[in-house]
A = this chain, B = another copy of it.
Amino acid sequence: MLTKKGAATRQRIIEAASAEIRERGVVATTLDDICRRSGTGKSQLFHYFPEGREQLLLAVAEWEAGQVLADQQPYLGELTSWPAWHQWRDAVVERYRRQGVHCPLGVLITEIGRHSPAAQAVTARLLEQWQRELQTGLERMRADGHLARDVDPARTAGALIAAIQGGVTLLMSTGSAEHLESVLDLCLDYLRTA
């Protein structure tokens, strides 16, 4: 267990690493850069990340995954009306439009090794959490009579996750949010009329 101060230092290192990597790229970022930016010494860094660079990159990836969900709040956690769903939709589009063609989480996953168990666990956990939040929203909408009884919240939440994933992939290859917007609008139109 880390003390409160220890947890804050660890978090400062992670956020400094995230900022360096966003600015300079993951390959060019050294532990020295991260120490300088976070105002910590090398021995302090190794106290929190005894396995070094790889362990730190994984922690940064976990933090970036958390940011994906945090950027959708407060809407994602309060999907209790159609206006809330549309605000969430706008927040998602805005987030990915701002992010553009460079995905900080994707860069880290590639560096850690796309097929490594650790990297796969980070993305699997993010997708599960995201899908669960959407499912909770759909369940509440259905319980309140805003959604047809025959809409399956789990399956539909999975469809929404796929829609976002595809829209973001196309945004990253074309630079345009058009696909992301049209597929999210199609999904919301479907839900409102279902």
Contact = CB atoms under 8 A, between A and B. Distances in A.
Interface of A: 120, 123-124, 127, 155-156, 158-170, 173-174, 178-180, 182-183, 185-187, 189-190, 193-194
Contact of A159 (B127, B169, B179, B193): B179
Nearest to A155: B182
Contacts of A167: 162, 166
18 contacts: A123-B173, A124-B173, A124-B174, A155-B182, A156-B182, A158-B183, A159-B163, A159-B183, A160-B183, A162-B163, A162-B166, A162-B183, A166-B167, A166-B168, A186-B187, A187-B190, A189-B194, A193-B194
